Structure 1
Amino acid sequence: MTKLSKLTLALVLSGLTSTSYAADLDTLQNQLKQLKQQMQLLENQLIEEKSKQQIINKKHEQQVAEISKKADTTTLAVAKTEKKDEGIKIGGAIRANYSVTSYDEDNEDRNGDFDFDIFRLNVSGKINDISVNGEIRFFDYMTVVKYAYLGYEFADDWEAQAGITQVPFGNGPYNSHNYFFSSNYYIGLEDDFDLGVVVKRKLKNNWKLDLGFFKNDELGGVDGSASDKSHRYSYDIVGSRSASEGTYAEPANELGEYNTFAGRATYQIEHSKNITTDLGISLLSGGLHDGVDRAGSYGAWAMHLDSQINNWNIQLQHGEYDYDLDDQSDRISVAAYAYFDTVASKATMSSVNVAYNYSVEWGPISALQFYNDYSTIYDKSDDSADTWMNITGVSVSAGAFFTYFDYVQARNQPFIGGTMIGDGDTERRFNINLGYYF
């Protein structure tokens, strides 16, 4: 082949290659254009689907909100219905007592005695915004009503109670931690219940206020129809005590409390999340009646402190009581638990209590409270010896069971081998009170 022929062939081949390359490039460009169109179409479809989903989600949220609103309304209506009429609940307790005492030689010889204590029934509940509360106690030797009252919340944070209800005085509801209370209980100034009306202001802005008016004691006063004035739960004045009468005799000169006013105000100081202190003052004033005419007056005052410091509880209380009788008697007769006793008509009272709460998981046992309660009554108007009582113990919570283990040392103390007007020796009592609550 000549040089000319070779050159011609090369030019032909080169032209063919360029033509093929151009065709391929056009095809590729067309495919890219179609791909872009498809991508734009897909993007438009995605935007449309997203918009539809947003509309669906919004409708779903509205439906959920509407359902929730209806549920809240229904729940509120049910709550209001339940609050309006909760019905009456019945509960109670059965308690037994074991004790070893230093003042009963026969008891010591037997290494103590185990006795039935009480069977009690409680009712509580609310019907048409009126609360119903009551407790009746059955002992071997008597049956008594501890309390029975109706309650009504007539305004925000205000409640009225009418019936046999607790007299507001001192640290509440108890100025003690043990089974035997403090010495104040045995002169009618702790856990006392009388017949009247109490208005209670719940804790608000750190203030709490209880005001009460009591027409007479729970048995109807001096002219009450009770067959035995000593059959009652809490201590009340039942007569003046003449020098010729025995300490435990039924009084010849009967008296009854009437038109008693009582008030208690407390202010809570919040030191921190788990530390609070309630500072308070209590006042009480009333009349004494002999069934014919007014026979005297009585009154009492107390300053008190109740402080919760994490697991610790500290109670302090100090005050005086004064029963001013027209017959100038220095002693009065009081009654409770089916017997009469005697106390000085005027005295000073003080108490110091410390307790520690301890949570545990020991089988059925869930909580322990260790305590030491000390109380004394002194400067008595009849010049009788001082009364004091110290109780060291622990209470145990185990499901439906609640038990007190108390070691009591006392002098001139009722239920510990003495009386408020006595001059006896220091006595001791180890006591276990076991209760089943239902």
Structure 2
Amino acid sequence: MAPSSTLTSPQSGPLTTRTDEDLAPGDIAVGVIIGRASEYFDFFVFGIASVLVFPQVFFPFTDQLTGTLYAFLVFALAFVVRPVGTLIGMEIQRKFGRSTKLTVALFLLGCSTVAMGLLPGYNTAGETAIVLLALCRVGQGLALGGSWDGLPSLLALNAPPERRGWYAMLGQLGAPLGFLVASSVFLYVYSSLNSDDFLSWGWRFPFFTAFAINVVALFARLRLVVTHEYEKRMEEHELDPAHLHELLPAQGHHIVIGAFAALASYALFHLVTVFPLSWVALSDPTGIDDFMKMELLGAAFAAVAMLMSGLIADKVGRRNFLGSLAVAIGVFAVAAPFMLGGGKPGQAAFLLIGFVLLGLSYGQSAGSVTSNFLPHFRYTGAALTADLAWLLGAAFAPVVALYLSSQFGLISLTAYLMSGCLGTLIALRVNKRLQAAAVVHD
């Protein structure tokens, strides 16, 4: 006979008698980490290629700076269409189930990424090559939106109340892991080949690797999603798609507040991963190898900091923690131009400090206020909150930062990051007042 124990929820008390086939928080966490890491790998491969490859392969008709800006605009497309992908995925889920939706989404993500590695360059296909690249990027965005499986929400609801910060962090851990793998693969190919071989065929290898990683991620997540216990837990917590005409009038403001609450972290996200690589590629191309190695170290720092964020947030509270980090990111924003423009020692400081702040803040940014949603709105509300946060904070960060820096100098980074910090602090303040008003009303 299988051993059993009782699993409880702070909302509903005892849920079920737990057997070996039940889903423990640790089981859910594994699926979340593997799934998110694969998604981030796909996106970081595109981001790195936007700097090292696409300006020469798809935009050779213009200068390096303009070509990189064009590539970053294509990069942003995925975040623009991501909410559409979420809504399409929700509709597929209503008609065919969660496992079908997830399979379609990850298959589209893997195929879109692999297809990029098969595309002809501008010198071969002209403008058609750019159009195909953009379509593949749109495919990535639609797939990422459609791949929302509710695992982070289920993980948070099943986690012990005193460890919510720790379990909330686990889903975010896929970001530094995905970046580590993507950067390592690109660094190996970039440093092993001469420039001609890299730009003709070598750059395609990381895109092909993505398909194998997505297959592993798909099975890791389906292992959870297709189980009866998973469906049972989702139903118990009412984690099913909600219709927009019901969600938006009732609690649409929580989507906006949640997106702005995470703005500082999401603005920082691409400003310490993708943007600085573009700045170095334009200002000191010979230093790209060393800079990418330093980014790998920074990503490792981010992973450790992310683990620490879970422990700290459980001590001081997630929202207080996010507010303090928004202030810390503001201080970092003031020093950022001097560090990034201060040669290799300054660039190393920019990366390591920036990645630590990213790990601490991003580790707690997801769902920081999604507990405000009513249970039957939480599944869709959490997904759309993340979509809006990516769109407002991260989608155009590389192209805006690179353009402003090229026109007005690195000081523009300060203004950009400070705006994100201000957005976070205002949103957290508004959320606190709404909660206080709700308590008084009750």
TM-score range, shorter chain: under 0.3
TM-score between the two structures when normalised by the length of structure 2: 0.25
User: Between Structure 1 and Structure 2, whose CA radius of gyration is higher?
Assistant: 1
TM-score (norm 1): 0.25
Q: Which has the higher helix share?
A: 2
Structure possessing the higher relative contact order (Cα contacts under 8 Å, 6 or more residues apart)? 2
> Which one has a larger percent strand, Structure 1 or Structure 2?
1
